[in-house]
Structure 1
């Protein structure tokens, strides 16, 4: 078996991950010259330049990126196999997750994860867009695109949008619509025309177009957005929901945004229809790592929480 200089491999992985020789030296507790020596030795063995050096920063060459993709996975498997034989139960897992899902649903639940599975050391990588499924990014993912063949997927949630507003704004809506009867007895649904009388807080990122969320909501009942509607635009659902909290109008949100946080009681779900966006949220992990206990514990916990919180059925 012909192997490269084995001492150089974890050094290469650390430099590639941190994009810095000095940061790699600090993490590995060796000198920067020792890092440079190991990288030079590996490059000589491979006959390829692995990094482009520019001042204090370094970037992978195309050959270096290809080598890193293969080596990082192999080193991780060696580390986890060794930990299992040594009886070390701790599992270090990087999870890439959408910012709204992380802030509103996952982070409030982390104390329960730590209580049930203290051996899981979870590091969150927040993403504003659907993440690229690669071990260079994370070990596992929350994604809406279950299309990469090398990964396995567990369904967590099918997204639906429904209108909400603040408690105070709901009282204003009831006054202006002449529905000031006893609270709890007003079961008459709001019509789409009723909703359009108030400012519509729109999230651009859901459909990647201005007012795309409200267009879909009105299309559900076969109508366009009324010309008289006042639409206020936000880039992210977190922003639109904050505007709704501060009595600025009606926002479209989904189940996970209101399923955990104590401030969910600040909002009222309006008595009207909802719309399915077509997005489905999945927990994704590399199929070759399906036997890793930490990933499977995290998968089962996420599914249990999704069921318990009403995001998916049994």
Structure 2
């Protein structure tokens, strides 16, 4: 299915680069999938040049079938989904799910006990229509071609640590960050943050690296060091005192959280209720 969608996108856009942008893939991945489908059928489907990508006769024949198949599949999926008025599915990043959504989701489910809710925690940019997912929470600039987006939250980043860590390392402000272990993840590096706030008194971070922001914050809560906390993800931990903010300086990130959905998402009571609930909670 992924290969067929890639073929359809390239044939329609006549560009590997534009197809990669539309499908949220690399150009290399698109090329690999096209080679795979050409190998499967044993024939060339595209004539490639520096300026254009054109279908061969075989490619034109396959395109007509694939377009009709994908259109029919989408129509049947929409029909089946509309028959399930209480069905609701959501895709969201694991860090957002564990640090923000889960503590609040019970409010929605408690007032809508008949909703058949399915949550998929993943960083993958899934195809909402093909995977029959009603909503996705995504982090970025709000530009996902073919999808509708509504902004939920902006985000700031600032250092946080547990009270025990601050006491043990004698940290009173930003100038003392070098006294502790600087925990790292793949979202924003310490050197960038420190450089942008002009804090020269801290040496290069060399603490453990965590591949997920929620794991990074768990390590900070356990007293293992200082983390760059994303404001939305540390909101509850700051309120309960599990983490403490260090200093008053913060930096706004380049991205924001968005509620993303397809124009074909059915307007069922479950879907409309969840959207209204989430937008209201985001404004609190």
Please indicate the TM-score interval, normalised by the length of the shorter structure. 0.5 to 0.7
Contact 2:148 2:263 in 1 (8 A): yes
Contact 1:162 1:269 in 2 (8 A): yes
2:279 matched to 1:307? no
Over 3 Å counting, the alpha-carbon distance change for 1:230 and 1:91 in structure 2 is: same
Gaps of 5+ in 2: 1-39, 41-61
Contact 1:218 1:225 in 2 (8 A): no
Shift of 1:155: 0.6
2:147 matched to 1:151? yes
Over 3 Å counting, the alpha-carbon distance change for 1:233 and 1:156 in structure 2 is: same
2:195 aligned residue (219, 226, 238): 219
2:195 matched to 1:201? no
Contact 2:78 2:266 in 1 (8 A): no
Over 3 Å counting, the alpha-carbon distance change for 1:225 and 1:70 in structure 2 is: farther
| Bigger Rg, structure 1 or 2 | 1
1:1-314 correspondence to structure 2 within 5 Å = 69-82=70-83, 90-129=85-124, 131-137=125-131, 138-145=133-140, 146-173=142-169, 176=170, 190-191=173-174, 193-204=175-186, 206-207=187-188, 212=189, 214-223=190-199, 226-227=202-203, 229-260=205-236, 264-289=240-265, 291-308=267-284
Tell me the TM-score normalised to structure 1 length.
Answer: 0.61
Structure 1 stretch displaced more, 63-72 or 289-298: 63-72
Shift of 1:64: 9.0
Contact 1:169 1:247 in 2 (8 A): yes
Matched residue count: 222
Over 3 Å counting, the alpha-carbon distance change for 1:68 and 1:139 in structure 2 is: farther
Partner Cα distance (2:161, 2:282) in 1: 24
Tell me the TM-score normalised to structure 2 length.
Answer: 0.67
How large is the RMSD of aligned CA atoms in angstroms?
Answer: 3.1
Over 3 Å counting, the alpha-carbon distance change for 1:116 and 1:244 in structure 2 is: same
Contact 1:197 1:229 in 2 (8 A): no
Partner Cα distance (2:235, 2:263) in 1: 30
Give a deviation string over 1:255-305, Cα, whole Å, max 9, x none: 332334699532112223111121111001112336443322211111112
Gaps of 5+ in 1: 1-51, 53-60, 84-89, 180-189, 309-314
Over 3 Å counting, the alpha-carbon distance change for 1:262 and 1:111 in structure 2 is: farther
Partner Cα distance (1:262, 1:162) in 2: 12
Secondary structure of 1:107 counterpart: helix
Secondary structure of 1:200 counterpart: coil
Shift of 1:123: 0.7
Over 3 Å counting, the alpha-carbon distance change for 1:155 and 1:201 in structure 2 is: same
Structure 1 stretch displaced more, 239-248 or 255-264: 255-264
Contact 1:215 1:224 in 2 (8 A): no
